[in-house]
């Protein structure tokens, strides 16, 4: 009897510590409602910071800031799930290797995130906080769509279209996309299935943070397109490597036509005449011997210019280079000022 009582006491003690880190709270099938209503979730409780929130069917609207371990959408072939993040509330996903919008586990499911306000942060601290649209290579039907717009911010360490890129769509028609580590397009090694920034703002490594990120890698090649109206933001704190934002792309083509380039100077740094900054470089990779970039950008600050140049003598413009040169009018005024100073000394 004492042994039985002892076992019961241990069980009660374990239960007192709350739900398991692997626990899942599932949105009630077919429910249309707000996140913060506990009865809309299995077990009658909101997903906690150590749990997975799973939205397979129905429409869930985030109405208050939440912190969870993981978010998954789509469980069965007939599932149709929608997550609306439109009220300005924030969603923090903190589990290591977290995947937002992260598993179309069965072919045929349809999952959609409409994100127009507030911040979604997918962050593990080790570069593995991942926003993945599709998991699995045999997805042949259904769709997985993330719509970024308005004033929304998606802040993620890794953004990936997943293994079945034909069924994954990232629509960036506004808002800010913060990439801290990598943009992936998993799947077969081939050019043409690239990443479309749309007209959102790309913030490399966070606001006022100098960072190096990758677009694809040597085994997952990734073309990149920034549409007219898109914003590319580069932070610069010095002239040496590691003191300004740097993107390394493994792909065949990059197109910046009509995109706006912003330059933010950090830590009081002031560039000198003729300073150059190679902020985006396409690396030659297997199957893509002559990756090249194109497109004239707009919106550069006074004194700055940006153009695609060939840095490896292979007849392809592989690097987007920012160059600082004062405008001719500024140089002329400076010359007149020096001449007047010299005359006054005489």
Convert the pLDDT of each residue in 33-83 to its tens digit: 999 999 999 999 999 999 999 999 999 999 999 999 999 998 888 999 999
Domain count along the chain: 1
Measured CA to CA, the distance from residue 133 to residue 111 in angstroms comes to 9
Q: Over the stretch 78-132, which tens digit does the pLDDT of each residue have? A: 999 999 999 999 999 987 666 777 766 778 899 999 999 999 999 988 888 999 9
Q: What does pLDDT average to over the chain?
A: 85
Taken as a whole, the chain contains a residue count of 346
Specify the pLDDT at position 161.
87
The predicted structure's pLDDT at residue 326: 80
In a domain, 16, yes or no: no
User: What's the pLDDT band for 7 if we cut at 50, 70, 90?
Assistant: very low
Distance CA 70, CA 43 (A): 17
> Residue 237, SS3?
coil
Lowest mean pLDDT among 201-205, 282-286, 323-327: 282-286
Alpha-carbon gap, residue 74 to 51, rounded angstroms: 17
* pTM across the whole model: 0.87
Q: Is residue 85 part of a domain?
A: yes
Best CA proximity match to 187, nearest among 262, 250, 136: 136
Assigned domain for 14 exists: no
In a domain, 170, yes or no: yes
Work out the percent of the chain whose per-residue pLDDT is above 90.
61
Quick check: is 330 in a domain? yes
pLDDT of residue 6: 46
Q: Is residue 18 a part of any domain in this protein?
A: no
In a domain, 9, yes or no: no
Cβ atoms of 255 and 294 closer than 8 Å: yes
- Its domain, for residue 246, covers 29-345
Q: Is the pLDDT of residue 163 over 50?
A: yes
Q: Is 161 left (phi over 0), alpha (psi -120 to 50) or beta?
A: alpha
pLDDT at 187: 64
Q: Is residue 5 part of a domain?
A: no
């Amino acid at each position: 009897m004492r042994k039985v009582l002892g076992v019961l006491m241990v069980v009660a003690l374990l239960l007192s510590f709350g739900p398991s880190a692997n626990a899942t709270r599932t949105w009630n099938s077919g429910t249309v409602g707000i996140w913060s209503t506990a009865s809309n979730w299995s077990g009658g409780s909101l997903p906690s910071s150590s749990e997975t929130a799973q939205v397979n069917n129905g429409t869930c609207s985030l109405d208050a800031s939440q912190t969870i371990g993981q978010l998954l959408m789509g469980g069965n072939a007939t599932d149709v799930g929608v997550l609306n993040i439109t009220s300005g509330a924030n969603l923090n996903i903190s589990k290591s290797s977290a995947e937002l919008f992260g598993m179309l586990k069965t072919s045929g499911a349809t999952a959609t995130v409409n994100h127009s306000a507030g911040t979604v942060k997918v962050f593990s601290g080790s570069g593995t906080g991942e926003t993945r649209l599709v998991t699995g290579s045999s997805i042949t039907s259904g769709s997985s769509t993330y719509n970024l717009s308005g004033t929304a911010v998606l802040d993620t360490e890794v953004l990936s279209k997943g293994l079945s890129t034909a069924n994954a769509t990232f629509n960036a028609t506004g808002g800010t996309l913060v990439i801290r580590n990598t943009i992936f397009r998993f799947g077969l090694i081939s050019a043409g299935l690239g990443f479309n920034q749309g007209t959102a703002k790309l913030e490399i490594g966070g606001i006022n943070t100098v960072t190096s990120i990758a677009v694809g890698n040597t085994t997952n090649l990734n073309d990149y397109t920034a549409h007219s109206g898109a914003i590319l933001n580069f932070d610069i704190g010095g002239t040496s490597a590691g003191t300004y934002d740097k993107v390394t792309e493994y792909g065949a083509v990059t197109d910046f036509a009509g995109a706006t380039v912003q330059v933010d100077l950090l830590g009081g740094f002031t560039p000198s005449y003729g300073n150059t900054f190679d902020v985006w470089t396409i690396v030659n990779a297997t199957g893509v011997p002559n990756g090249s970039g194109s497109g004239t950008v707009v919106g550069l600050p006074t004194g700055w210019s940006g153009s695609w140049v060939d840095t490896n003598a292979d007849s392809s413009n592989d690097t987007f280079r920012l160059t600082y040169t004062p405008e001719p009018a500024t140089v002329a005024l400076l010359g007149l000022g020096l001449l007047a100073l010299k005359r006054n000394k005489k």
